[in-house]
Amino acid sequence: MRAPRERIDALEHAFGPLEDADNPLGIKALLAADAAGEVLPGAEQVLDAQEFNAEFVPAEHGGRLERMDVLGRVLRPAFRRDASLGFGYGLNCFFAAVPVWTGGDIDQRELAARLLLDGERIAVARHEVAHGNDFVRDEFTARSDPGGGLRLEGSKTAIANASRARGLVVFARTGEVSGRSHTVLLLDRAELPAGQVEDLRRHTTNGMRSAEFGGLRITDCPVPDSAVVSALGDGYDLSLRSSLVIRGLIPSIVLAGADTALRTVTRFAVRRRDDGRSSLDVQHVRDVLTGAFLDLLLSDCLALVATRALHLLPKQMSAYAAAAAYLAPKIVAEAMDEMSAVLGEESFAEDGTYGMFQKQLRDLPVTSLGHAGSAGRQVSILPQLPYFAKHAWFADEEPPAELFHPYGELPPLQLSKPRLLGDGDPLAATLVACADLLAFGEAPAGNKEAGTTLSRLTHAFTGELDELRRVFAAVPDGDRKALASPHHFGLADRYTLVLAAAACLGVWREQQTAAEPGDPSGAFLADPSWAAAALYRLGRRLGLALPDRPTACEQRVLAEVLTRLHGRRSYDLYGSAVA
């Protein structure tokens, strides 16, 4: 198996330069396919040649999936170009297969692996969260068959890859008991009786136009007991456990599209007009570019923590995965809005260089919503905060330093270990430890002014954590009614911003001693300037009492934006080569 960096670089260069007018997989071809609602065949052929589906299959079953942080990085070359391609070809298959990897028996896992490694697709038909009435129920049901097994029937109108998938993972209603009402079934469509599975019409979407969202109708279809994943009634539990795995990938796919958007806008900003001036001469434009890059770095710090915590902190990672999936799409969407103002009327272009920005803007809401959406991610965080306030904040030990190493080794991935509710919050302990380090330790080498600013900002964030501790410690144990208030939802939002600050601090701190040899971003990440600018940006969102604006730090960040544009490097923690 090739090393992760080799696979990522090979995929990036196989697609070729996005801006090259002669590239058959470049902007012109991708936008034409998007307008037609079709996936670019040549792009899928690249993924076929690179055996992209192997990235979604655990190594123990013949695939390449060993580390979740690597999977997040491998997705980026595809999503940097076309979310429909990245999602429709492979990521949706991974989302479908996760319940099988998580709760399936050996035969089921081998079936899922065989389908993916043979180049087939797997689609997932999830259950409805709630129903207004039975007349509009849109789901599958399964009842016991007197002759053995189950009888499956029903329909669902919006399933990604519905007609293209041979494998089907179906969440079917098998009962009415709360929390035990649904069961997961793994089906090989080729083995189902002819005529009992019908493809319904495809739906058009504003975003990810090339991805197929169609429907399925299944009529009185016999299903063997061997198709039941885990056990009858385990569907809800499998859905929740699967979300722990899936959520950490959300920042990677949204920042990949925003990476292309930022590159597009930066290229526009540096373009010289006839009078020799450029948009970059305007302070607001410089602020937008700087802020957008900081938002991508913030998102990647959350992605790093959420994915590596699956390996290192399975008992504490649920809040981090939810925070990453909640916050990253939110701040990236706001950065995209700010960048569209820089482009002006060009942001509405449907073709040409700036048409790619409009495409990324359309695709973002679809790539980031998922099955549960942002409110669902907040709901999974909130019940944990009173426990953290009473038992973890300012008391927990720090996480392993490896949590913040972009390239560091990890223990094997074991998807049965993550817990839905964490028993501690070691990431918050990183914030407290960094506050002490900056206040009482040696000043960061080479940039004393930025270090002083970073120290003051870190102190402000520890004050915010202390305020959250005060409020949530007052919530009685088990009082879910209090947690459901808009006020506490707002506090959960503030908590995710504190976690983002802690993640940035952890990444910055570990770069002081554990930078990867040859890492093109190592010197930049070791500089406290980006961390100070990132925390200042987060602090403004929180309305904290802040020191003076770190303009020198922001200038250092803007210089990196321009360096990466001209050096053709990605706008994330890795600064990897862009074709």
DSSP state at residue 502: H
If asked whether residues 338 and 470 sit together in one domain, one would say yes
Last residue of a domain, one of 77, 97, 120: 120
Count of domains observed in the chain: 3
CA–CA gap between residue 266 and residue 260 (Å, rounded): 10
What's the CA gap between 161 and 138, in Å, rounded?
17
347: number of Cβ within 10 Å:
21
Determine the distance from the C-alpha atom of residue 293 to the mean position of all C-alpha atoms in its chain, rounded to a whole number. Answer: 17
Amino acid 446: pLDDT: 64
In a domain, 178, yes or no: yes
CA gap 534, 128 in Å, rounded: 38
| CB distance 454 to 532 below 8 Å | yes
Q: 305, 404 in Cβ contact below 8 A?
A: yes
pTM over 0.75: yes
Domain range holding 558?
Answer: 241-567
pLDDT at 315: 95
For residue 429 the two structure tokens come to: 């302990």
573 domain residue, yes or no: no
Per run of 10 residues, the mean pLDDT along the chain (length 579 residues) is 91 95 93 92 95 96 97 97 92 96 97 97 78 53 92 92 94 90 96 91 86 92 96 94 94 96 96 91 97 98 97 96 95 96 87 89 81 74 95 96 94 91 96 93 73 95 98 88 87 97 97 81 93 98 95 97 97 96
For residues 147 and 108, state if they share a domain: no
**Strand (E) or helix (H) holding 140:** strand 140-144
Burial 71-88 (b: 16+ CB within 10 A, else e): bbbbbbbbbbbbbbbbbb
C-alpha dihedral, 218 to 221 to 227 to 231, nearest 10°: 90
Same domain, yes or no: 370 and 344: yes
Q: Are 213 and 203 in contact (CB under 8 A)?
A: yes
Instruction: Output the pLDDT for position 274.
Output: 84
Indicate if 225 and 265 belong to the same structural domain: no
Q: How many CA atoms lie within 13 A of 268 on its CB side?
A: 24
* pLDDT reported for residue 39: 87
3-state SS record for 452-495? HHHHHHHHHHHHHHHHHHHHHHCCCCCCHHHHCCHHHHHHHHHH
pLDDT for 188? 96
> Are residues 426 and 344 both part of a single domain?
yes
- Which pair of tokens denotes residue 514? 């554990």
